[in-house]
Amino acid sequence: MRLAELSEQSGVSTATIKYYLREGLLAPGRQVNMTTADYDEGHLRRLRLVRAMIQVGRIPVATAREVLGHVDDESLGRTLRLGSALWALPQGAEPDEEDPAVAAARREVDRLLASLGWEITRELSTRSPVHRSLVAAVAALIRLGYPWDAELMAPYAELMYQVASRDLDYLETHASDAERVETAVAAAVLFEPVLRALHRLAQEEESARRYGL
């Protein structure tokens, strides 16, 4: 498949594909001769994943490159590759350690993890970017004056745990072993918009039920 065909099949302009090649999001095609390169199905798959990450997942190009770097890192085992790829996914704003709201948020998040018995997450808490972004998000709530403590958070956390459990079930049943890392990344990136949309739909529905249209 030539670049122009790749463009046609994916719906991505040749200029943009060239840009992704330049940025290292897409491996170069096999060079057939001086002026022609050959791309295969793998390139198409990867290109679709890249588009999904950038367009649907709103992930910055630089971050996408990093995530894909982990996905492709043959030196790592599957679990580690997945972990490090997810690790690299974009997080929310970083917490401002000067802020007292951040300290309060951190305290509540720690209490939450203790009460949930998420020991593994707790051990990693100092290093995990996800943990930090949770602190930042909770701090934002607190700063605006909304009471928000571990007791309020716990049911949410348990619900999201059920969601995460389903995510992994889905991966186990629907992804072949070889593709599992790529699939997991795609899922992490693509499930979130679905979840968010479902969340808002549910809000609309429940709000309409309670208060009318």
Decide: is 93 part of the binding site for DNA (CB under 7 A).
no
- Which of 22/199 has CB closer to its own copies? 199
The Cα–Cα gap between 134 and 95 comes to 9
- Tokens, residue 126: 């100092």
Residue 103, binding choice from its own copies, DNA, none, Cβ under 5 to 8 Å by partner class: none
Shortest Å distance, C-beta 150 to its own copies? 12
The Cα–Cα gap between 173 and 43 comes to 24
- Which of 15, 120, 144, 178 forms a contact with DNA (CB under 7 A)? 15
- Which of 19/170 has CB closer to DNA? 19
* Neighbour-count burial for 111-128, b at 16+ CB within 10 Å, e otherwise: ebbeebeeeeebeebeee
Decide: is 126 part of the binding site for DNA (CB under 7 A).
no
- Which of 18, 166, 199, 200 forms a contact with DNA (CB under 7 A)? 18
Residue 3, binding choice from its own copies, DNA, none, Cβ under 5 to 8 Å by partner class: DNA
Coil, strand, or helix at residue 177?
coil
Sign of CA dihedral 152, 154, 158, 164: positive
The CA-atom distances, in angstroms, between 31 and each of 17, 48, 170 are 16, 21, 38
Residue 178, binding choice from DNA, its own copies, none, Cβ under 5 to 8 Å by partner class: none
Residue 13, binding choice from its own copies, DNA, none, Cβ under 5 to 8 Å by partner class: DNA
Site for DNA in 20-49 (CB under 7 A): 21-22, 28-29, 31-37
- Which of 120/178 has CB closer to its own copies? 120
Residue among 154, 74, 92, 174 nearest 128 (CA): 92
Shortest Å distance, C-beta 195 to its own copies? 6
Decide: is 193 part of the binding site for DNA (CB under 7 A).
no
Angle in degrees, CA 98, 104, 110, rounded to 5: 115
Sign of CA dihedral 192, 193, 199, 202: negative
Residues that bind DNA (CB under 7 A): 2-4, 13-16, 18-19, 21-22, 28-29, 31-37, 54-55, 60-62
